[in-house]
Chain A
Amino acid sequence: MVKWTELERSTVKAIWEKIDIDEVGPQIWARVLIVYPWTERYFGSFGDLFTITAILKNDKVAAHGKVVLKALDKAVNNMDNMKRTYADLSQLHFQKLEVDPDSFRLLADCITITIACKLKSALSPQSQAIWQKFLYAVVDAMSSQYR
C-alpha cells in the first residue's frame, strides 16, 4: 500500500480542486488520442478520429474524457485504498476492454501535461513530483488485475 504524508494528501487535493472535470476531461482525452494515435484502437465506435480537427470536435471523445476524470476523482478520495477502489475497473479494462496497461501510463503523462497547461508555474517541481506519485499509484491500481 502506498504511504502518503499530510503534505502529499493536501497537495493532491489542492491540485484536484483547481480542475474543472468538464473543461479538462475533453482536453486530456483529445491529447492522448493525438499524441499517441495508436490508442485510437480502443475507440472504433467513436466515429471520425482521422484528423486532429476531428478529434478535437468529437463529442464522444469529450464525453469519455469526463467519464475518466470522474473515475480519477474516486482515487483522490480514496488515496489509502486505491487497489480496492479500482479492482473492478482494472478487471474490466483487462478482461472485457482488453486495454494494454501501458496506455494508462501514456494517459497519466497527458493528464500531467494538461494540468501543467492549466496551472502553469503553480505546478512547482515539488507539486509535480507529488502529483506524479499519485498518478503512478493510480496506474498501478488500474494494472493490478492484469494477471
Chain B
Amino acid sequence: MSLSAKDKETVKAFWAKVSGRAGDIGSDAVARMLTVYPQTKTYFSHWKDLSPGSAPVRKHGGIVVASITDAVNKIDDLAGSLLTLSELHAFTLRVDPANFKILAQNILVVLATMFPVDFTPEVHMALDKFLAALARALSEKYR
C-alpha cells in the first residue's frame, strides 16, 4: 500500500489547507489519544498534567505535528527523512510501534472534526495511507 503520485498530491494539498491550525490539531490529537486509549499515558508519567489542553499536551502536540509537516514536505523519502526520529523512538523512547496506529486514528478523528467538508473519503484514504507509511518509517530502526 505505498503512496501513489495522486495520494502524495492529495496529502500535500490537504495539509497545506490545514497547517494554519497545526498547533490545535496536534494538541487535540494527543489529548484524544491519552483520553480514548489510557494505556498510552504510560509513556508520559513524567508530565505534571495529562489533561486535554494542558501545557505538556499542547507542547507535545506541537512537536508531533511539526514532524508530520516535515514528513509531508519530504514525502518522497519518508524512511530517509525519519531515520533520526526512528532511532529516537526505537532506542531511547522505546515506544511500542502499535501506538503509532493509535495516534494516527486520533489525528484522523481530529481532522474530521475540524475540517468536515475537506476531509472527504478520498482525502481520508490518502491520509490513512500516509500516516501508515509514516508509522512504518518510524518503526524502521526497531529491530
Query: Which A residues have a C-beta under 8 Å from some C-beta of B?
Result: 30-31, 34-35, 52, 56, 109, 112-114, 116-121, 123, 125-126, 128-129, 132
User: Is A128 a contact of B36 with CB atoms below 8 Å?
Assistant: yes
Known: A120-B114, A125-B52. A52 touches B36 (CB 8 A): no
User: Is B35 a contact of A35 with CB atoms below 8 Å?
Assistant: no
Interface SS majority for chain A: helix
Interface SS majority for chain B: helix
Q: Which residue of B lies closest to A123 (CB)?
A: B113
> In the complex the two chains form, what is the Cα distance from A31 to B48 in whole Å?
39
30 A-B pairs in the complex with CB atoms less than 8 angstroms apart: A31-B121, A31-B124, A34-B121, A34-B122, A34-B124, A35-B121, A35-B125, A35-B128, A52-B121, A56-B121, A112-B109, A113-B108, A113-B112, A113-B119, A113-B124, A114-B112, A116-B109, A116-B113, A117-B112, A117-B113, A117-B116, A118-B116, A120-B116, A125-B34, A125-B35, A125-B36, A126-B35, A128-B32, A128-B109, A129-B36
> In the complex the two chains form, what is the Cα distance from A31 to B121 in whole Å?
5
B 17-37 to A, binary, CB cutoff 8 A, 1 in contact else 0 = 000000000001001101110
User: Is A35 a contact of B124 with CB atoms below 8 Å?
Assistant: yes
> In the complex the two chains form, what is the Cα distance from A126 to B63 in whole Å?
23
Say how far B72's CB is from chain A's closest CB, in angstroms. Answer: 19
User: Is A30 a contact of B121 with CB atoms below 8 Å?
Assistant: yes
Q: Which residue of A lies closest to B117 (CB)?
A: A117
B105 at the interface (CB under 8 A from A): yes
User: Is A132 a contact of B36 with CB atoms below 8 Å?
Assistant: yes
